[in-house]
Chain A
Amino acid sequence: METAERIVPPAKTYEKNIAKYVMMPGNAIRRHPFVEDRMRRLQEYADACPFNRVEMGGTEIGIITDSTSYMYAKEVFGDKASILKLGMINPLPVSLILDFAEKVDRLVVIEELDPIIENHCRQLGLEVSGKDVFPLLGEYSQNLIAEKLGLPVPQGVKLDEQLPVRPPVMCAGCPHRGMFYTLSKNKVTVLGDIGCYTLGAVAPLSAVDMTLCMGGSISATHGFNKALGKESEGKTVAVIGDSTFMHSGMTGLANIAYNQSNSTVIILDNSITGMTGHQQNPTTGYNIKGDPAGKIDLEALCRAMGFNRVRVVDPYDLAACDTAVKEELAAEEPSVIISRRPCALLKYVKHKKPLIVDQNKCVGCKSCMKIGCPAISMKNGKAAIDNTLCVGCGVCQQLCKFGSLVSGEV
């Protein structure tokens, strides 16, 4: 790959054109023929554009494919097969496909998931292999393509035993953990959202009941509580990250205040967008480049949206989390709990020394295992700390009745 100078094309001048840009019914009807004609011209473009290309090779098999499936097909066939590589999928070319089909003996469509290209080919009256050979579900690979087309595939060695899986977990010291422990302990129904905290659903916390799409937790909780009434209001919460809340949580929050469900919303404010790799968001005071930017005050925002009960807790403080959750669920009005502590992986977050297990005090009761921290496990009947992972957050310490987890700080 080579890099080149960035080309910044001059901005086009804006010209006012109400008939074109204001899509009220009368204008939309007059605009429709243009839209159809544009699609027809795009179709012509698809037949000639450089993103759709034919690579002729052997003509016994002709493969029509796109994106990463092209890579797998090339890996298997090299130039032993002919390939029509599609870079533009909507609209699909017509004459390019018909011409290609003429030149090969057998036509095979290789595309992951739904048979979009395959159905198009069939509409053109072509006989093709597609989902009759390849699976509808999952990702493809070079071996899968070879195998399904009757070619030999390499085999590897396997151990005879079943190995334990290694599902993703929240990091050691993750600020989300304390809040999920509290919700799990109080048997709260948790309608969740998308982010690192979706992992609150993983055992042993198993705290999250539902996750659908970005921002869905708050509206779902409102609807859930409207449908199930007062009893549900007293034991159901929405949990949503700070970034997801900014993305699409606010509309739902306004709905709770305005259409009055007595719902409790927990904003897990780790002061960053964790899961996708530490992007800033409108609550952090920095823009995506890390330059100072406007900072939205979550407390002020929630109050402005009609919430009287807005409180902040430190999720490392289990007792405080417990009180906050119990009180806000019991309250006879909607409330927001902001569970605030920065992501443990942020550069500015100072870590403490790893905890030390007092071997004389630990009785092996496994209470500290309930938080599902990857840094603590049982070795020879006693708790053991992994020094490479532990950041000394102290959440497990609060679960030990025997005081056997001691601070590594001197």
Chain B
Amino acid sequence: MTKNVMIVGVGGQGSLLASKMLGHILLQEGYDVKVSEVHGMSQRGGSVVTYVRFGEKVYSPIIDKGEADFIISFEQLEAARYLEYLKPDGRIVTNIQQIDPMPVIIGAAQYPEDLIGKMKAKGVNVDAMDCLSLAEQAGSSKAVNIVLMGRLSRYFDFTVEKWEQAIRDLVPAKFVELNLKAFALGRGED
């Protein structure tokens, strides 16, 4: 069975490294893996989606509505935006951070209230945490991506060492310690 992980967020939040890390581990585990990104026009600010699919043989590079086993979200509104892609028994792992999109900034729209509560009310499994604070605690607000991967790792059978090795393989040497810390904080107590 093909498994589907969707990574969503705002351009510039570092979702690329998250998908790279997941793809890296899955390839080492011997899966057929497809990773594809849909990003906006500038390098920052727009809604970005990355699809990670793995299994024995993966064909389509994209995840369609009702197909995602996991949605990893860097931002609340983006989690809600892609909710329709989740399987009924899927799980959302999300950062609770809110980043105002331009229509909200210019007053043409309101940032919706309590999106996490509303998703839970629909019976969705939501694992929400303040990844930004944890990333800052680890040493950099840029480590939100690794905090989220730490949280996601709880739902996979791979050993912690595997994830840590992926960090060492993919992150420049001087940031490895910081990211290992971010990963541990995201994963939390077993």
Contact = CB atoms under 8 A, between A and B. Distances in A.
B20 to A, nearest CB: 15
A51 to B, nearest CB: 18
A204 B106 contact: yes
Given A142-B64, A388-B132, A156 B46 contact: no
Interface residues of A, number: 49
A350 interface: no
A372 B85 contact: no
Contacts of B132: 388
B130 to A, nearest CB: 13
A203 B102 CA distance: 8
Contact of A369 (B83, B105, B115): B105
B158 interface: no
B81 interface: yes
A176 B10 CA distance: 20
Interface stretch (A35-43, A220-228, A294-302, A374-382): A374-382
Residue from A68, A156, A199 whose CB has the most chain B CB atoms within 10 Å: A156
Interface in A107-135: none
Interface string B89-102: 00000000001111
B122 interface: yes
A157 B43 contact: no
Nearest to A366: B107
Contact of B42 (A72, A142, A199): A199
A168 B119 contact: no
Interface band, chain B = 35 or more
A contact face: mostly helix, strand, loop, or mixed: loop
A329 interface: no
A199 B41 contact: yes
A393 to B, nearest CB: 13
A270 to B, nearest CB: 11
Contacts of B40: 167-168
A102 interface: no
Interface string B113-149: 0010011001110000000100000000100000000
B112 A154 contact: no
15 contacts: A143-B64, A144-B64, A155-B65, A156-B84, A163-B80, A164-B101, A164-B110, A167-B103, A171-B45, A203-B108, A277-B43, A366-B107, A372-B106, A387-B141, A388-B141
Interface of A: 68, 71-72, 74-75, 141-144, 153-159, 161, 163-172, 174, 196, 198-199, 202-204, 274-275, 277, 345, 366, 369, 372, 374, 376-378, 386-389
Interface of B: 10-12, 40-47, 59-62, 64-67, 77-78, 80-81, 83-88, 99-112, 115, 118-119, 122-124, 132, 141
